[in-house]
A = this chain, B = another copy of it.
Amino acid sequence: MARLSDIIEEFLKGLIIEEEGTVEIQRNELANRFNCVPSQINYVISTRFTAEKGYYVESRRGGGGYISIKRLNVDSAGDYLMHIITSIGDRISQLTSEVFINNFVDYNIIENREAMIMKAATSDKVLTDVPTDKRDDVRAAILKNMLMSLTVIKRR
């Protein structure tokens, strides 16, 4: 059974592409369309459309309220990478890391193979020997260092 969150995520990303970088929705309406509670929309947004992941979200309550999601403009891959690197904190979960990496592919900053390598390097599987409480720190360090390495070399 596919996750509802993934479906909603895809739906929104589709809209964003259609609308060339921005989308505006009403929370209740969207929740209604997908037969879920409104707060699930917040969940999707907070796990998939955060600022660090390259999205800018605004909203307004009250009558005629809305949520708008904008995809950040990326004209320089290097700038974008630096932005991401500084915004990644000292710790990151495997899932969040994967979402980041997928975004890099979406933004054409890395190739699919490169994404696979990065995911392989930051998976929990590989960090079993790291004490649990340090795992997310090490992962963040790995991810950031890999990204740093990309700011040095141009993509063919």
How many of chain A's residues have a CB under 8 angstroms from any CB in B? 43
CA distance A111 to B126 in the complex (A): 23
Main secondary structure of the interface of A (DSSP, over half): helix
Q: Mark A24-45, 1 if CB is under 8 A from B, else 0.
A: 0000000000000000000000
Most chain-B Cβ atoms within 10 A of its Cβ — which of A63, A126, A152, A154? A126
Smallest CB-CB separation from A2: which chain B residue?
B64
Q: A63-B3, A118-B117 are in contact. Are A130 and B134 (CB under 8 A)?
A: yes
Q: How many of these chains are in the complex?
A: 2
Ordered by A's residue number, 21 sampled pairs between the chains whose C-beta atoms are within 8 Å are A3-B64, A111-B113, A112-B154, A113-B153, A113-B155, A116-B149, A116-B150, A116-B152, A117-B121, A117-B146, A117-B150, A119-B149, A120-B145, A121-B142, A121-B145, A125-B141, A126-B138, A126-B145, A127-B141, A129-B137, A130-B134
